[in-house]
Amino acid sequence: MSFFTCDICDANEDKLATGELRVLPPLFMKFGRQGKFLGQAVTLKVFEENSLVRTKLESPGNGQVLVIDGGGSIRCALVGGNLASLAQQNGWVGIIVNGCVRDVEEINACNIGVRALASFPVRSAKRSTGEQDVRISIAGVAIQPGDWIYADADGVLVASENLLK
The answer to whether 103 is annotated as binding is yes
Residue 57 labeled ligand binder: no
CB 28 within 8 A of CB 149: no
Strands 65-69, 37-45: pairing kind: parallel
User: Is position 72 annotated in a ligand binding site?
Assistant: no
Any binding-site annotation on 83? yes
80 known ligand binder: yes
Closest CA to 114 of 130, 98, 133, 128: 98
Q: Is residue 119 a contact partner of residue 101, using CB atoms and an 8 Å limit? A: yes
82 is in an annotated binding site: yes
- The annotated binding site for Mg(2+) is made up of 103
- The annotated binding site is made up of 80-83, 102-103
- The annotated binding site for substrate is made up of 80-83, 102
